[in-house]
Structure formats: C-alpha cells, structure tokens
Structure 1
Amino acid sequence: MIANILIGLVALLHVYFMYLEMVVWDKPLGLKTFRLTPEFAAASKALALNQGLYNGFLVAGLAWGLWLGQAGFAIKVFFLGCVAVAGIVGALTVNRRIFFVQGLPAIVALAALILL
C-alpha cells in the first residue's frame, strides 16, 4: 500500500508537470516555475506541449499499473523506471533540480514497490 501511495504521488506530480508544460508554459506560473523569459517561452511553446504530452503518457502508465493492482507490478516498474531515467537525463542536461523533483520520487516509489 505504501508503494501504491508513492506511485500515486509520482503520477500526481506528472499531472502537474503536464499542466505546467501544456497549459501555462508561457503564463506567469510557467515563466516563474521554469525561469523562462517570455520570448523563450513563446519560441519553445510547441516543444513544451510535446513534453507535457509525454508526461501525460507517464501518468497514464502509472495509473494503469495502479488500476491493475498486483497484476500491474511490471507496468509500475517500467513506468517508474521511465520517470527515473527522465529525471536523471533532465538533471544531466538541463538542471540538477529535475533529479530531486522528478527522478528521486520515482526511485523511492520503485524501491518501495520492489522491497515492500
């Protein structure tokens, strides 16, 4: 149950990321969150929309795994692994904060899923 709660929290984080990237990327909240200039936000809006869509797919996969319960173990592992890798790559290529906001929660949820 602890693992499923953590997985649910990871999924909710990605719903929020999806919202930030798809809806408010070029609005004050998006500009502040991602430390963007209005010009850069306008120029990269289509890329952010695409990135938000990928976050939505991660949410769908995590929700699918949760919905399947025990039968969704492998699906949960796969999608948490995807989130963890995305967090690591984001930290290495964009900003270290991404690891702590995205990668670490997924790694903790994955550890709880496997060990508990």
Structure 2
Amino acid sequence: MQTAAQVLVALVALIHMYFLVLEMFLWDTPRGRKVFATTPEFSRQSAPMAANQGLYNGFMAAGLVWSLIAGDPVARPAQIFFLCCLVVAGVYGAATVSRKILLVQALPAAAALVLVVTAG
C-alpha cells in the first residue's frame, strides 16, 4: 500500500506540474485556450493572473516532490499537508469556477491522501 500511495502522490505532483506549464506558459496559446475554454481576448487579458495561479500549482507540486524525497519524520506529514491543501483548493475551485476542478484536482489528491493516511 505504501508504494501505491507514493506512486499516487507522484502522479498528483505531475498533474500540478502540468497545470504550471498550462497556466504559466500555454495560457494564451491555442492549446491553453482549448483546455480552459477561453477566448483569445480573455486569455490575453488574464495571462498575468493565470501565470500567478500556475506558480501556486508549481509550489504544490514542489512540496509533493519534496515530500517524496524527504526522509522520516517529514515525508508523511508533508504529504498530508500538501494533499489537504490541494483537496481544499479543488473543492473551492469546483464551487466557484467549474465542477470539473473537483475531478481533475480534488479527486486525485483525495485518493492519494486516503492512501497516504491508510498506509501509515
């Protein structure tokens, strides 16, 4: 179970690295506009906000990566902290922006959190 938990934590970190790339570098491109269903005008105007949001996703990914390489006693509490942050952010995003965020962000983080906690 421990291996499955670590694999899922790594997957969640990769997802958030992908969000960083999408929001910081691809936001105002055809790919970014397609993923986020935005218009060229909106993506151009909101690019600084999206880059800031991408940076936050990068910090979450960095925290999860750090938790994977940190030794005891830091690794597990760090994973729990960062995964809880992502679940809360995903629930808030689903309530305020799009329900899709619940599936893309909160659900993978919640699944990883359950495995981390139960793997003990």
Please state which band the TM-score falls in when normalised by the shorter chain: over 0.9
Q: Give the aligned length.
A: 116
SS of the residue corresponding to residue 44 of structure 1 reads helix
Aligned to 2:103, which of 81, 100, 105?
100
Aligned to 1:53, which of 52, 55, 58?
55
Q: Under a length normalisation based on structure 1, what TM-score does the superposition of the two structures give?
A: 0.97
5+ residue gaps in structure 2?
none
Aligned to 1:68, which of 65, 70, 84?
70
Amino acid at match of 1:89: Y
Aligned to 1:109, which of 91, 94, 112?
112
5+ residue gaps in structure 1?
none
**How far does residue 70 in structure 1 lie from its aligned partner after superposition?**
4.2
Amino acid at match of 1:29: R
Rounded Cα–Cα distance in structure 2 between residues aligned with 1:38 and 1:90? 22
Between the aligned residues of both structures, percent identity stands at: 50
Q: Which is further off, 20-29 or 69-78?
A: 69-78
Aligned to 2:39: 37
**How far does residue 96 in structure 1 lie from its aligned partner after superposition?**
0.1
**How far does residue 28 in structure 1 lie from its aligned partner after superposition?**
0.6
SS of the residue corresponding to residue 20 of structure 2 reads helix
Aligned to 1:20, which of 2, 19, 22?
22
SS of the residue corresponding to residue 26 of structure 1 reads coil
Displaced runs of 4+ in structure 1, greater than 4 A? none
